[in-house]
Amino acid sequence: MKKLILNLIIVALISSCSKSQPFDYDLLIRGGTVFDGSGNPGVVGDVGVRGDRIVAIGDINGRSARTIEASGLYVTPGFIDMHSHSESFRLLNGGQGPSFAFQGFTTEIYGETVSMGPLGGQRRNELPDELLGKWESFGEFLDYMEKVGISINVASYVGSGGIRANVMGYDDRPPTHDELAQMLEMVRKSMREGALGVSAGMSYVPNIYMTSDELTSIVREAANMGGIFANHARTMNGTDPNAIYEAIAIGEQAGAAIHFFHLNSTSSTEADTFLAIIDEARERGLKVTGDSYTYTWGITGLRAYIPAWAQAGGVEAMLERLRDPVERERIAATFVTEPPYLANIGWHHVRLGVDNPSVNGKLVSEVASLTERSPEEVFMDVVLDQEGRGIVIDWNNEEDTLKKVLAQPYVAGGTDGSALDLDSENLPPLVHPRHIGTIPRLLGTYVREQGLLTWEEAIRKLTTLPADILGLKDRGALVEGYLADIVIFDPDSIQDMATFEDPFHYPTGMRYVIVNGTAVVDEGEYTRALPGRALRGPAYVIQ
């Protein structure tokens, strides 16, 4: 009798376990056109996810906790933004950033000219007041991002401009032997803490004060630890081929792969020249790549237009010069004759983005006409009034150049923008549509409508290409065993809706964005989930 009862209990347990058998998949994406990211055409199939990993691709059978019917939709790896400035915006908005999620980004890369760590010397007070004192080192910044929570993955270069400001402030002079040694140690420490490599904004202070030799020494430290050299060329508007030669020479001498931020030019003729220089370097075996956004107007800091010599010593020194009649006259005379030469595009191509309603959104030339003053006087007064804070939206590219650059096989996607929540109070004074529509514009206008790229090539440029440039592991492709960063969009309706005149519209067509197995966009709605992670570079050592 006891044996019979025991057998009945065992049968009941087996039956119970069978009924509660776990699902084969946490998520099954069924019947979509699957692009693996390699550049191959899409194939109708299924994708199975368990936890944070892709575990099956193809014709899948099995039980799933959730199934997404993706017939008629494109299923791709998550997009990687090679050039993001979202750091402060994400932290001030609790890690959120709907404008990037709706573009399909699952990873963004920070640190163009300065990075959010290390924060020493004159860099300590550059953060918004709400963020001061939260971290100091490069690694502590990444840790803090994860602690707060982020909707998509983040990674960063260590900015050589920030390294220099930590040690030397904003002085226009060569470093001493000891100062250079300190900078090199900061690079090594940041690489061990997870930096992808070294970046340089070579038309910005203090990078503009650095010689090629100084920067080569800094890049070499990162290259010795597997890092790349990512740079914003010394001539902002792409009109000087020497700026391209210089950056390639720095990377080559340092032994680093070379990546150019936002390849652009206000001269279509010069675009042919700089693309030929890059092609020649690639033919010699150098790894040279770039990124581009899909607009002919960009953004830069207000004070970046002030001649570099007048920015020496930091913001307060610059403001003091602007108050001095003699120095002010010299500044006015050297806007277009001294580096960084930004004003040579003409003041009718410079729109102010500042906390002053009387001039915000207006062209400098427009304000000059209204007030019957010179554009230089107007601009200097705005810089003084804003104490150096604010932005400008300025023309920096030809449409023909944009298309030539987008068509290059080595050019990845990058917004040069920030992940914004359009309902937040933490918005810039003037919103550029690239924050909101860069990738939907690429896919809707340049792929679907104009046929500049095939779907599979455009998707490669947003996924496996940036992952390869950066050396990201287990991301950027739909491959079994890779992390489940997945985008599902409607190819017929994907499109940017933000314009310069009316930027406050999210794009259409993005149906699902999945980050590490969790939906950040679900059935076209932003979920406010925070599954993002901080990704560390090749020399990362667990602290």
Which tokens sit at 529? 């989930």
User: Is 430 in a helix, a strand, or coil?
Assistant: coil
Would you state the pLDDT for residue 11? 40
Would you state the pLDDT for residue 3? 47
Task: State phi, psi for 393 to the nearest 5 degrees.
Answer: -105, 120
pLDDT tens digits for range 268-280 = 778 899 999 999 9
Confidence grade of residue 126 (pLDDT, cut at 50, 70, 90): confident
Q: Taking the CA atoms of 284, 285, 287 and 293 in sequence, report the sign of the dihedral they define.
A: positive
Check pLDDT > 90 for residue 128. no
Say if CB 77 and CB 129 are below 8 A apart.
no
- DSSP letter string, 163-193: HHHHHHTT-SSPPPHHHHHHHHHHHHHHHHT
- The DSSP letter of residue 22 is P
Would you state the pLDDT for residue 113? 84
Q: Going by C-beta distance under 8 Å and a sequence separation of 6 or more, which residues neighbour residue 382?
A: 302, 352, 354, 356, 359, 367, 390
Confidence grade of residue 235 (pLDDT, cut at 50, 70, 90): confident
Would you state the pLDDT for residue 21? 56
Confidence grade of residue 20 (pLDDT, cut at 50, 70, 90): low
CA distance 342 to 336: 7
Would you state the pLDDT for residue 542? 81
CA distance 141 to 543: 13
User: Is 449 in a helix, a strand, or coil?
Assistant: helix
User: Is 311 in a helix, a strand, or coil?
Assistant: helix
CA distance 237 to 265: 5
**pLDDT: which is higher, 238 or 287:** 287
Residue indicated by tokens 């050396």: 471
Which tokens sit at 235? 């001539």
Least Cα distance to 226 among 193, 256, 247 occurs for 256
CA distance 475 to 201: 27
**By percentage, how much of the chain surpasses pLDDT 70?**
96
Average pLDDT over residues 213-230: 98
CA distance 486 to 155: 18
Would you state the pLDDT for residue 17? 41
Would you state the pLDDT for residue 242? 93
Would you state the pLDDT for residue 122? 82
pLDDT tens digits for range 66-91 = 999 999 999 999 999 999 999 999 99
Check pLDDT > 60 for residue 262. yes
> 118: cis peptide before it, omega within 30°?
yes
Check pLDDT > 50 for residue 535. yes
pLDDT tens digits for range 158-205 = 999 999 999 999 999 999 999 999 999 999 999 999 999 999 999 999
Report H helices in 198-352. Answer: 212-223, 241-254, 268-283, 308-311, 315-323, 325-334
pLDDT tens digits for range 428-475 = 999 999 999 999 999 999 999 999 999 999 999 999 999 999 999 999
Check pLDDT > 70 for residue 294. yes
Say if CB 64 and CB 26 are below 8 A apart.
yes
- Where do the structural domains in the chain lie, given as residue ranges? 79-300+397-472, 305-395
* pTM for the whole structure: 0.94
Least Cα distance to 188 among 515, 540, 464 occurs for 540
**By percentage, how much of the chain surpasses pLDDT 90?**
89
Residue indicated by tokens 């680093």: 256
Confidence grade of residue 236 (pLDDT, cut at 50, 70, 90): low
Kindly report the number of other CB atoms within 10 A of residue 323's CB atom: 10
Say if CB 48 and CB 60 are below 8 A apart.
yes
Check pLDDT > 90 for residue 146. yes
Check pLDDT > 90 for residue 537. yes
Check pLDDT > 50 for residue 217. yes
pLDDT tens digits for range 488-513 = 999 999 999 999 999 999 999 999 99
- The DSSP letter of residue 442 is I
Residue indicated by tokens 């950066």: 470
CATH architecture of 79-300+397-472: Alpha-Beta Barrel (3.20)
Confidence grade of residue 237 (pLDDT, cut at 50, 70, 90): low
